[in-house]
Structure 1
Amino acid sequence: MAVIKVHGFHASTATVMVLCCLNEKQVEYELVLVDLPAGAHKQPQYLALNPFGVVPTIQDGDLTLFESRAILRYLAKKFKGQGTDLLGSTLSEEALVDQWCEVEGQSFNPAISSIVSQILVVPMRGGSTDEAVVEMNIEKLGKVLDIYEERLSKSKYLAGDFFSLADLQHLPFTHYLVNACGKGDLITSRKHVNAWWEDISSRPTWKKVAENMKFN
C-alpha cells in the first residue's frame, strides 16, 4: 500500500489534527513540509494541489484531498477496521460523533481560534493583540465549555464513553490555548472538562505530533 503523503506544516492546527488521526489509525504517512512562513502554500506547485492555498492536503494514491475535517472522516472510514475506531460502532454513536464534531466546528472553533490568533499569531506577524477581541471570545468560549462541563459530567468523552473524532478535533487549538496563550484556566477551572483534556492530551498518538508544534 502506498504511503499517504500529508502536505502540511508542523505548527498548523489542521495539519497536526490529521497527523494525530493517522497515528490513531496506525497508518503510515509521509509529512511533506509546506513552508508557510516562506509562503510556499501560495506558490503554483502547491496551488496545483490545493487551489485555496491552505494546509493540509493529502495524497492517497490517485486521490488528492483537502479540508482537514473532510480528511479526518475519509481516513476514519477508509481505515475503520484498524487502530482506534473514531466513528462509533452503531448508528446512534455515529450520530453523536457527528453532532459533537459539528459543535467543535461551529461553536468551539470560532471562539478558541480567535483567542489563539490574537495572542499568539498576530504578535508573531508584527501586530498587536486586540484585548477586546480576546475578552469577547473568552466569554463565548466559556459558555461553550460550560455546556461541555455538563456533558462530560455524564460521559467520559463528548460522544459517549469512547474516544472519537469529536474529541480529536479539539486537540490542536486547546493545546495552544493551554500551553502557549496563558489561558489554561478556561480548562482547569472546569472539573470534568479538565479531566477530559488531561485524558485526551496524554494519548501517545497526540503527544507524538504535539512535541513538534513550534513556529520555528
Structure 2
Amino acid sequence: MAVFKVHGAVFSSPSMRVFACLYEKDLDFQFIPVNMGAGEHKSETFLSLNPFGQIPALEVGDQKLFESRAITQYIAEEYADKGTQLTCPGKAKAPFLVWKEVEAHQFDPVASKLSWELVLKPMFGQTTDPAVVEENEAKLCKVLDIYEARLAQSKYLACDCFTLADMHHLPHLNYLMGTPVKKLFDSRPHVSAWVADISSRPAWSKVIAMHKQ
C-alpha cells in the first residue's frame, strides 16, 4: 500500500481532520511537521504541494492533495474497504452530502472564529475581542438549534452511523469544549450527547495524543 505523508501541524484544525480520517481508516502515515512560524508553508518546496501555501498537504504515491475536506473524502472513498466507513451508501448519501456541506459552510466559519478568539489568541499572547465572541456565539446558537432538531431524528448528522459529516467537527469542538462556549452545546441534550459520542472515539484520542508528543 502507498505511504501516506501528511505535511501539517498537530494544532492545526484542518490537519487534525486528516489525522482523524487516517486513524479511522487504520491507515499508517508519516507526519511531516510544517513550521509555520518559520514560514515553511510559504517555501518553494511546500508550495509545490499546495500552491496556496496552507496546511495540510497529503502525498500518497504520485498524488499530491490539499484542502482537508477533499483529502478526507478521497481517503474515505479510495479506501472504502478499510476501517470505519465514514460515508453513507444508498439513500443516505444525499443527507450525507448535505450535512458535510453544512459543517463547512454553517458551523466552521463561526466555530473557527470562536476558536481563534478564545483559544488561539490567548495561546499566542493576543487579546480576545469580546464583541467578536458575542457576535459569533449568537450565530453558533442558531446553528446548534438546527443541529438539536436534526439529532433528535438521527443519531449522527447524516444518518445513524458516524461519517465525515460528524468527524469534520471534531477539531473545533475540541477547542471550544475548554471554553465558556461549552455551555451552548451542553444546554442542548441531543447535541451534547452527540459531542460526547464523537469526541470519545479511539481514532480521535490518537489525534489528541499527538499534541503531547
TM (norm. structure 1) is 0.94
State the 1:186 CA deviation: 1.5
What is the distance in 2 between the residues matched to 1:177 and 1:212? 18
Aligned residue in 1 for 2:183: 185
Equivalenced residue count is 213
Aligned residue in 1 for 2:195: 197
Aligned residue in 1 for 2:14: 14
* Farther-moved stretch of structure 1 (42-51 vs 150-159): 42-51
What is the distance in 1 between the residues matched to 2:209 and 2:148? 27
Quick check: 1:26 aligned with 2:23? Answer: no
Quick one: percent identity of the two aligned structures?
47
CA contact (8 A) 2:107 2:140 kept: yes
Q: Which amino acid aligns with 1:170?
A: H
Deviation string for 1:146-187 (max 9, x for gaps)?
1101111111100111000100011000110002x3321111
State the 1:50 CA deviation: 1.1
CA contact (8 A) 1:12 1:213 kept: no
Aligned residue in 1 for 2:85: 85
Quick check: 1:94 aligned with 2:86? Answer: no
Aligned residue in 2 for 1:157: 156
State the 1:37 CA deviation: 2.5
Among candidates 182, 206, 209, match of residue 204 of structure 2: 206
TM (norm. structure 2) is 0.95
What is the distance in 2 between the residues matched to 1:42 and 1:209? 25
Segments of structure 1 that go 5 or more residues without pairing to the other structure are none
SS at match of 1:64: strand
Aligned residue in 1 for 2:61: 61
Aligned residue in 2 for 1:3: 3
* Farther-moved stretch of structure 1 (113-122 vs 150-159): 113-122
What is the distance in 1 between the residues matched to 2:103 and 2:192? 17
Aligned residue in 1 for 2:47: 47
Q: Which amino acid aligns with 1:9?
A: A
Q: Which amino acid aligns with 1:77?
A: E
Q: Which amino acid aligns with 2:69?
A: R
